[in-house]
Structure 1
C-alpha cells in the first residue's frame, strides 16, 4: 500500500461518520492531524504518545478533552490497529513512523506517515473551506509551503461561491423528487450552473435570482423559490 514517487494520487473526500482513527504522536504535527480529524466528527480517535499531554503544550491537552478521544501514554502496538480505518504516524522518530506505516501496510489500513509520505498510502491535502464548500490541494509532496500559500488563495476564491453551492444543494433534492429522467435533470442543473445566478448571489441581487429561477424551474417548484433564496451563507 505504499505510494511510489511521482505516482498520481487519487483525490477523495471521506466521511468519518462511524470511523475509528489512530494518531500516534502528539507533537505539533500530531496535534494538527488530531484537530483536523475532530473537525470532521469521527466515531473515535485513539491517541498514543510517550510523553504526558501537558509536555506537548496546553493545546494538546485541550484536544484530549474531546469525548471522542482516548489518550494512552505508550508506544503503538499491532493490536492498536484493530478496528482502525485511518492511522497517522506522527511521532518525532522517522524509524517509529516507518514501523507503524509497515504495520498498517500489512493490515491493509490507510496510513499517513509524517516523516516520509511515500511510506504511507495517502497524504493530507491543504483544504480551504467556506460553509459547506471545500477545495483540496496537493502538490504531491513537492512543496507543503506552496500548498499552504495556495490554500489561502483558494479560501478567497471559495467565499463568494459558497452561496451558489448552498442554493444548488437545497434545490437538487427538490428537483430529483419530481421524478424526471436523468437527462432532463442534468440539463436543468447545467443550465443553472452556467447562468448568471452566481454573480447575482455575490451581489445579493435576489430579485434577478428569483426571476431566473422562476423562468428555469418547473412550475411545481415555484412556491419553493423564496425558501431556496432565504438566508444563504
Structure 2
C-alpha cells in the first residue's frame, strides 16, 4: 500500500476572540459544543444558522441561543454570512453543506473549521485543559479525537497544582514590573522564580517555605506584599 503524503504541520495558536464576530452553522451536538466554546471566550457576536426552527432544537441549544450575543436565523449559510467573520464553524449534519461553507470561507479568506471533513477547513480545535489562567491544548492531528479527549482529562489533573504557581506569578509580575528595574534584573528574577521549588511547595500547601524563599529572593520593597501574594494558594 503506498504511503500517504505527510500532513502539513498545524500552527498552534491561542486566539483572543474578544470583540470578534463569529459564525456557527448547525446546532447539532458538534455545533452546540463549538458555540459553547466560543461564548466562553468573549466574542462580540455569534451568528448561528440552522435549517430547523428554534422550537425544533434541543433544550441545550435553546439555552445557548438565549445569550444576548447570539443571533439565530433559521436558514442556510449565504456567501455574505462568512464575510468579516473571525472564525466560522461548518457543523451542519450535511457533509456537502459543510464543504460548501468551507469553500465560501476559502474564497473569502476566512478561517473555517469543517466538522465533517477537517482537511477542507483551515483549522482544527484542540482538546483544551484549563485550570484558572493556565491552559494546555492538545491535538492528535485528527488521528484520534477520542484520545485527545482522554488525555485532556489527564492534563487537567497535571495542571491543577501548577495553576497555583500561575496565580502567584500573575500577582507578582505586575508588582515587579512596577519597580521599573532594568530588564536584565527582571529577567534574572523571573527565571529564578520559574526554576525555584515554589511550585512544589504550593502543590504541597507549604506556604511557610514559599514565604521564606520570597523573603530571601524578592527585592525588599516587595516584602510587604508577600502575605497577599500567598493568600488562598494553600
The alignment's TM-score, normalised by the length of structure 1, stands at 0.95
Tell me the distance in 1 between the aligned counterparts of 2:84 and 2:109.
11
Q: Distance in 2 between matches of 1:150 and 1:183?
A: 38
Structure 1 residue 129: Cα displacement = 0.8
SS in 2 for 1:23: strand
The answer (yes or no) to whether the contact 1:47–1:70 under 8 Å persists in 2 is: yes
1:187 lines up with 2:188 in the alignment: yes
Contact 1:89–1:100 (Cα < 8 Å) also in 2: yes
Query: RMSD of the TM alignment (CA)?
Result: 1.3
Quick check: 2:205–2:233 contact (8 Å CA) kept in 1?
no
Counterpart CA distance in 2 for 1:149 and 1:80 is 35
| SS of match in other structure, 1:111 | strand
* Aligned pairs (5 A) from 1:70-219: 70-219=71-220
- Distance across 2 between alignment mates of 1:123 and 1:8: 12
For 1:5 and 1:139, the matched residues in 2 are separated by 14
Deviation, structure 1 residue 5? 5.8
Higher RCO (CA 8 Å, separation ≥ 6 residues): 1
* Equivalent pairs, count: 230
Structure 1 Cα separation of the partners of residues 107 and 210 of structure 2: 54
Which residue number corresponds to residue 56 of structure 1? 57
Give the distance between the partners of 2:142 and 2:187, measured in 1 at CA.
36
Q: Which segments of 5 or more consecutive residues in structure 1 lack a partner in the other structure?
A: none
- State whether residues 213 and 225 of structure 1, in contact with CA within 8 Å, keep that contact through their aligned partners in structure 2: yes
Distance 2:140 2:98 in 1: 22
Gaps of 5+ in 2: none
Aligned residue for 1:66, secondary structure, equals coil
Aligned mates of 1:160, 1:5 — CA distance in 2: 37
Q: Aligned runs of 1:26-45 on 2, under 5 Å?
A: 26-45=27-46
How far is 1:133 from its partner?
1.1
Change (3 A) 1:183 1:14: same
* Alpha-carbon separation, structure 2, partners of 1:81 and 1:232: 45
Q: Output the CA distance in 2 between the equivalents of 1:7 and 1:89.
A: 21
Q: 2:22 aligns to what SS in structure 1? A: strand
Deviations 1:64-98 (A, max 9, x none): 01111010000000111233111000011111111
Specify whether residues 48 and 5 from structure 1 end up closer, same or farther in structure 2 by C-alpha distance, changes over 3 A only: farther
Q: Distance in 2 between matches of 1:54 and 1:8?
A: 42
2: CA distance between counterparts of 1:5 and 1:81?
30
What is residue 16 of structure 1 aligned with on the other side? 17
